Amino acid sequence: MNMLEVFVSSLEEFQPDLVVLSGLHMMEGQSKELQRKRLLEVVTSISDIPTGIPVHLELASMTNKELMRSIVHQQVFPAVTSLGLNEQELLFLSQAASGPHSSLSSWNGVPDVGMVSDILFWILKEHGRSKSRASDLTRIHFHTLVYHILATVDGHWANQLAAVAAGARVAGTQACATEAIDANRVSLQAPHEFMTSHSEVGSRIVINPNEPVAEWHREGISFHFTPVLVCKDPIRTVGLGDAISAEGLFYSEVRPHS
């Protein structure tokens, strides 16, 4: 983060298609005052990124609820276009900011799809772009071991089906360290059917093996769900979330702001 200002000032010359940020979790050991100050600097730096360049923030595991609350409320979420996170980060975020299912102390086995969907919906409804809110946040890529969900605000992204499928594919190849998915080395552990919500009347979805990416919609937000072929004997697990988010971003098409 010490390099953030220098980095942002070079973007005019470099003209990237996308900026990916991470590392906010590394502020956990600092004082509240310093955390607040640095987060404000982060938001200022992000707002200096030329318009039209999407910014993806990859979250990481945290234990400090106040820092997570600050990231949510101190305008960091509205300043970024896209978020990447896993099941621990998602539930912790909901607990810190009093979101849906925040009374849950931890996931019991595979995170419930309907509950995950409720929290993703709440983040985009509370902090995402809408007619009444000038936020840039329009996309969340959620990954857990056995499935991924890509949630997007309608009208801002395209190619979600390919993006979420590519993220799932790279999870299998990277963990097994193979060029392509090796059917003998992976297993399917995702739920075969699930409810799309628990905080309202959701629909029941049964996964079709021929078209494994399931899609549903809720109040202007689209959800794309894919099972993951899980490597039975993983060789590489470090940086898996980063690889999933990067691959998903590579296939995602951002629609220019109208």
pLDDT at 130: 87
- State the distance between the two ends of the chain, measured CA to CA, in whole angstroms: 31
pLDDT at 170 exceeding the cut of 60: yes
Q: Predicted confidence band at 73 (pLDDT cuts at 50, 70, 90)?
A: confident
Pairing of strands 82-86, 55-58: parallel
pLDDT at 58: 94
pLDDT at 132 exceeding the cut of 70: yes
> In this structure, how many other beta carbons lie within 10 angstroms of the beta carbon of residue 60?
17
pLDDT at 138 exceeding the cut of 90: yes
Element spanning 77, H or E: helix 76-79
Kindly state the average pLDDT of the residues 97-104: 95
CA atoms of 15 and 45, how far apart (whole Å): 16
pLDDT at 64 exceeding the cut of 70: yes
Count of domains forming the chain: 1
Kindly state the percentage of the chain with pLDDT values over 70: 99
CATH of the domain at 241: 3.40.1190.20
pLDDT at 252: 95
The pTM of the full predicted model, rounded to 2 decimals, is 0.94
3-state secondary structure of 141: strand
pLDDT at 237 exceeding the cut of 60: yes
pLDDT at 183 exceeding the cut of 70: yes
Could you tell me which residues come within 8 angstroms of residue 250 by beta carbon, excluding any fewer than 6 positions away?
A: 163, 166
Q: Which domain holds residue 245?
A: 3-254
pLDDT at 257: 60
Whether residue 242 lies in the annotated active site: yes
pLDDT at 16 exceeding the cut of 80: yes
Output the average pLDDT for the chain.
92
Q: Is the dihedral of CA 47, 59, 119, 209 positive or negative?
A: positive
